Every structure is written in structure tokens, then in C-alpha cells.
Structure 1
Amino acid sequence: MPAPRLIDLQLVTQLDSVTGQTDDQLGMVASTGAVITAEQIRRWCGSPGVTVTVRPVIDLNQPAVTDSYVPTARIREQVRLTHPTCIFPWCSRPSAKCDLDHIVVFNAGGPTITDNLAPLCRRHHRLKTFHGWRYRRTGSTDFEWVSPSGEIFRRHGPLSFPAGTDPITPAIGSTPLPTIPGATSLPPPRRRRRPDRPPAADPEPPRF
């Protein structure tokens, strides 16, 4: 009989929700952003075989920084709590399975700080690095992407309303494409009736 699979579930809530001192608190599943009730949290924490580890909440409003290219464990957790999924248009791969990308590249002066890092699944990280896709951060959880042919996609994160992705095709000869620090220039956009939907995430990232 195979051993039971270990599940690591990170919940964000008030301690009172776990101890039963209050029922009016809500919590969140860190990997998905899903809202859960205090009763559900207590039921999960009280299940047989469950080990509960209590850690202080990381302040998402206070960016963490390091001089190193590689983010610290605290920075990684802060970024992944801020962005539960890959921030490429329409991608929903959990950020815990994503690379952390420097929005302004490190070699161009981009710091390793929470505000300059974003989770990208391996496929979309490659599109950004090698295939001409560019993006910039436009809000706390909002991003604007530009495809190699000039289409613009606005990705709204879980803290925005409504969340999701808006495809926006710029008119030829209208406002110029946004300038993104640390990115290479792109050719002029082609005329299209509507933007193509970006590629979806790979089922699993390659191993290398």
C-alpha cells in the first residue's frame, strides 16, 4: 500500500479563527487566493494526521530587498503571497511552481526587491526571455504585456476588480507602445482584427 501523499497547505488568517475564539474571521488559501471560513480552517487543522505550524504573517505592504541576484526565502514567500499564480495573461499555474522573474533585469540595474519580482511559469518565462514578450507592472498586482507583434494584454491580479485579462489591440499609428526599462525594442505591430490568445502554460515545467 503506497504511503499517503503529503499535502502542504498554507492558510492566511487570524489566530483567533484557529482557536475558536471567533467565527467572524475569514482566511485565504495562499496558493490560490481562495477565501475560506473560520469553521473550514478549524476543520482542516483538526483533521487526523495534520501538523499545524504557526508563522507570523509577512507584511505585503513592506517590500523586502537583498543585494543578491537570488531572492531570499522571505522575498520568495512575499512575492508568491502577493501573486498566487503566474502573471502571464490567462495563466493560472500556482506561483509556488513558478520562477521568480526580475521585471527590470538584474544586469540592467533592476534590484532584487519584492516590487521588481513576479512569478512566471517556465514556459512563459522563456517567452519573455527569448521570444520578444515584454511586460511592466502597472499596479500592486496588475501588469501590462506586449507581444512580439505589438498586441497589448492587461493582466489584473486578485487584488483588482474585476480580476482577469483584458486584450487590447493598439491602432496602427496611434499612441506608441509603452517603454519598458531593461527590455529590447520590438518591431512595429501588425494590423489585426483582434489579438491572439497567448499560449497556455505547460502541464509541467521542464527539468534542467
Structure 2
Amino acid sequence: MVRETWVLASHNAGKIKEMEQILAPFGVTLKSAADLDLPEPEETETTFRGNAALKARAACEATGLPCVADDSGLAVDALGGDPGIYSARWAGEPRDFQRAMQRVDTELSRAGVPDRTARFVCTIALARPGSEVRFFEGEVVGEIVWPPRGAGGFGYDPIFQPLGHDITFGEMSADGKRQLSHRARALDAMIAAEFGS
């Protein structure tokens, strides 16, 4: 098996751990932007795809290595797709996802509609030196529950219950979430394209 070193353009420890586990069997050693002291570029695009590409290109140019970046978030139907690309920023600085989850529930209550349908969306961009950026997408549909349940996962996982399940991502094992998650689905598409699996 050919071993390659890739850079994950992220400082998110949960995301780094998840992607390391998924890519290791394919001979990919993953370094994070934090490992390499790469700055986080400002996400100035208006779409998941645009922000993923911006981060992947910046890391690829800085390191000369293949770089993978994702932009992902929670899109709540009754909130017009918010928090969407602003999912991390809804958590404020320093990032406080307890506050962000409370805000989602507060905004839904304020909207006064019973629809709590939501989806986690992920777009992965893979930038290789001298090549066009390639994109891979994944999505999982579910609903917002309140109060938060479970201490697993990260971000909005404790308030997201995937369709057909009676537990949240926060209550699932890492393997259980891996079977369903938006990021896993986007990674599966990338792995199929890159490694033929």
C-alpha cells in the first residue's frame, strides 16, 4: 500500500480524530492544520463548497501536500437553513456549542412552527498540488430534539436525532454515528473516487 501524507485543514479535534480513523486503512497519514501551525483562513464564501475549497487551497499552497477540508453544518428547515455555513460561529467565541444549541431551540420556539426537520450537510474539498479541487458531498436528515441528549460526538450532535432512530448523534457510539453521518457519507464518496473502495 502506498502511504501518503495529507493535511486536514482543520483545528477541530473531534473532526481530526474522526477523519484519521476513516483514512488510516487507505494508507493516509493525516496531519492537521494545528499540527503544522497553519492559520485558519477566514471563511468568506457564502456556500459550504466555497468555504471548503478556500480552506483546502490555502493549506495545499502552504504545505505542498494534498489537503482535505470540509465545511459542514446544521441546516434547520424552519429557520430557512440556518445556522448553515454559520454553524460554528453561532457558537460564539470561544466556541460554546451549549449556547449554540440553546439558540437553535430558542429560534425554533420563536418561529412558532412545529416542524423541527433539520439536516447535517458536509462538503469535502480535496486539493492536490497542480490539480483542480474536487468536491464530495454528504447529508443526513433528522430532527431537532430538546433538551440535548448524550455526551458523545461534538457540536450540535446532542440535539440532532437522525431519521428512523430514537437516539441523537450525541447518544450514539462513534461507530454508530460513522454509519450515518454527513461527513462519513462525503468521505465515503471521496474514498470511492480516490481509492476505488
**TM-score, scaled relative to structure 1:** 0.30
Structure number with the bigger relative contact order (C-alpha 8 A, sep ≥ 6) is 2
Q: Which has more helix, going by share of residues?
A: 2
Q: Which has the larger radius of gyration?
A: 1
